[in-house]
Structure 1
Amino acid sequence: MLANELLHRLADLGASLRFFSRLPVPQLGRLDDTGALPSLPRAAAAVPLAGFLIALPASLIGLLVGSADLPDLLIGLIVVAALVVPTGALHEDGLADSADGLVGGTTVEKRLLIMKDSRIGTFGGLALILATSIRASAYGALFAHPAAGVFAVLGAGALSRLAMTALWAALPNARPDGLAARLGQPDQRAVALGVGLTVLLLSPLPALIGASATLLGIAFAGLTTLAFAAFVRDKIGGQTGDILGATQVLTEVAFLIGLLIGR
């Protein structure tokens, strides 16, 4: 029974890693179908760990370049690049599309139509510039203390994916025929398990950067998730894949700002 549950969780992790990144992921146990999409009602519990692992290469690259005599901003930009490459800018694309649609559209129909357009407009471009600048500046500052920088990258990867799944579970699908709708919505048990796993993954941070900074970062990320959920519910009535990608980037930004204010 326990072995079967572990195999299911490994399969969920494998499917989540393949869906949210381009990392080469081997079969994780006999129940892991390498061609299957994650079943979010259950697999949401593994998404924070997937985010942690996706961020692992960037954290190690940050540790390496942080030991060189480079400007903080350059270190931060390299870390952000190392975060974007494994995902193929999946979440950044969602941020840009969401900014264009939510701000540029005047009706629900127009907002959803703009979000489906692959071209980037003014609002999307500005959102990407601001989000990238803030993340790079924050990571550059945090890697002044290498261990703190490493676990800030890893913690942000896990917490931002938890925020994404929580918003996914809380809001209905704004586009019934979209990919987010086909994957299913995370159930409450999966989100609760994800919360516990995220707390465990964040546990080294208080000793490295301080309990108050860690709590402030978590609070900022949580408030950002709530505010963004209310905003998108008002604008389009629910979530889409683009909204979920935007949630990941926005909560990562909020978490990093909280860490820097509280340290």
Structure 2
Amino acid sequence: MTQETPFSGWRDEIGVFALAVQFLTRLPVPQDLAFSEGRLLRATRYYPLVGLLVGAIGAGVLLTAAMLLPWPVAVLLSMAATLLATGAFHEDGLADAADGLGGGLTRERALEIMRDSRIGTYGALALGMALALKFAALAAFAPADAAALLILGHGISRYAPVAVVARHPYARETGAKFTAPSVSAAGHRAALATTLALAAALALALGPGGALAALAGAALLAALVARRYLRRLGGYTGDCLGATQQMAELGLYLGALAWL
């Protein structure tokens, strides 16, 4: 029988956070993490913190590269660092969702296209435009502001898919071998609380007006893409969640740039 200690709860939560890191990124974590559907459900509350970690990696590369290389190159390297850290997890979802929603004339056909790992015209255009707009927006800021946007933008945008999962149904059929993404009410509240703290940090970095503009941009683009797939599919898929995160991140950068 394992004896409980005052630190057992903390160690367990660290393990759940590591599970969230393992699910959303390619960053190294212990390979012997305890796994269960319940623990994966609990891990959802840490998605904004995982985004914060990814953004910090990008910001570190950005500020280091900016001391040695031209500013546009530093921005591109910072973006590459975040793509390597996540394995382009959300970007892949954006491309697949764009292919399905753009090329599928019916709900069933759209869902079928999203299962195809090959990228099509709609996916390539959506992904290319999203990356190009992120680069153009970040390159317009001073290094310190761009670094803050990277850190907080990645963190805040990870809440968007959590909010979708908390409020809407899954679009595909599920069975014994597959469980739809889900979040508990407590997990949703924890993710929201973390996001509100990150929003306060954004206000300190950009000022209240800049933060409000950035958050409005994030909410607007995330809502627009969610409205699109919820109407077409009657719910969300994993690819749709990736697209939602990408649009929230891009919208945050563009909102901040519009205020600037």
TM over 0.5, shorter chain: yes
User: How far 1:4 sits from its partner (Å)?
Assistant: 4.7
User: How far 1:128 sits from its partner (Å)?
Assistant: 0.9
* Unaligned stretches of 5+ residues in structure 2: none
Aligned counterparts of 1:225 and 1:7: Cα–Cα separation in 2: 34
Corresponding residue to 1:203 among 197, 200, 205: 200
Corresponding residue to 2:26 among 22, 28, 49: 22
Corresponding residue to 2:228 among 216, 228, 231: 231
RMSD across aligned C-alpha pairs, in angstroms? 2.3
Tell me the residue number matched to 1:130.
129
CA contact (8 A) 1:19 1:38 kept: no
CA contact (8 A) 2:226 2:240 kept: no
TM-score, with length taken from structure 2: 0.89
* Unaligned stretches of 5+ residues in structure 1: none
Tell me the residue number matched to 1:118.
117
State the AA in 1 paired with 2:79: V
CA contact (8 A) 1:40 1:183 kept: no
CA contact (8 A) 1:172 1:238 kept: yes
Deviates more, 1:96-105 or 1:200-209: 200-209
Aligned counterparts of 1:19 and 1:82: Cα–Cα separation in 2: 18
Tell me the residue number matched to 1:220.
217
User: How far 1:175 sits from its partner (Å)?
Assistant: 1.2
> Judging changes above 3 Å, is the alpha-carbon distance between structure 1 residues 69 and 12 closer, same or farther for their aligned structure 2 residues?
same
CA contact (8 A) 1:171 1:239 kept: yes
CA contact (8 A) 1:41 1:187 kept: yes
User: How far 1:38 sits from its partner (Å)?
Assistant: 7.3
What secondary structure does 2:111 align onto? helix
What secondary structure does 1:204 align onto? helix
Q: Kindly tell me the number of residue pairs found equivalent between the two proteins.
A: 255
Corresponding residue to 1:241 among 238, 241, 247: 238
CA contact (8 A) 2:63 2:147 kept: yes
CA contact (8 A) 2:171 2:235 kept: yes
CA contact (8 A) 1:147 1:208 kept: no
Tell me the residue number matched to 2:67.
67
State the AA in 1 paired with 2:82: L
1:149-178 per-position Cα deviation (integer Å, ceiling 9, x unaligned): 222111111111111111122221111339
User: How far 1:5 sits from its partner (Å)?
Assistant: 4.3
1:206-236 per-position Cα deviation (integer Å, ceiling 9, x unaligned): 2332221111111221222222222111111
Aligned counterparts of 1:8 and 1:87: Cα–Cα separation in 2: 24
> Judging changes above 3 Å, is the alpha-carbon distance between structure 1 residues 35 and 223 closer, same or farther for their aligned structure 2 residues?
same
What secondary structure does 1:182 align onto? coil
Aligned counterparts of 1:255 and 1:185: Cα–Cα separation in 2: 25
Aligned counterparts of 1:227 and 1:87: Cα–Cα separation in 2: 24
TM-score, with length taken from structure 1: 0.88
> Judging changes above 3 Å, is the alpha-carbon distance between structure 1 residues 247 and 176 closer, same or farther for their aligned structure 2 residues?
same
CA contact (8 A) 1:79 1:136 kept: no
CA contact (8 A) 1:40 1:185 kept: no
Aligned counterparts of 1:4 and 1:216: Cα–Cα separation in 2: 42
What secondary structure does 1:173 align onto? coil
> Judging changes above 3 Å, is the alpha-carbon distance between structure 1 residues 39 and 232 closer, same or farther for their aligned structure 2 residues?
farther
Aligned counterparts of 2:65 and 2:191: Cα–Cα separation in 1: 31
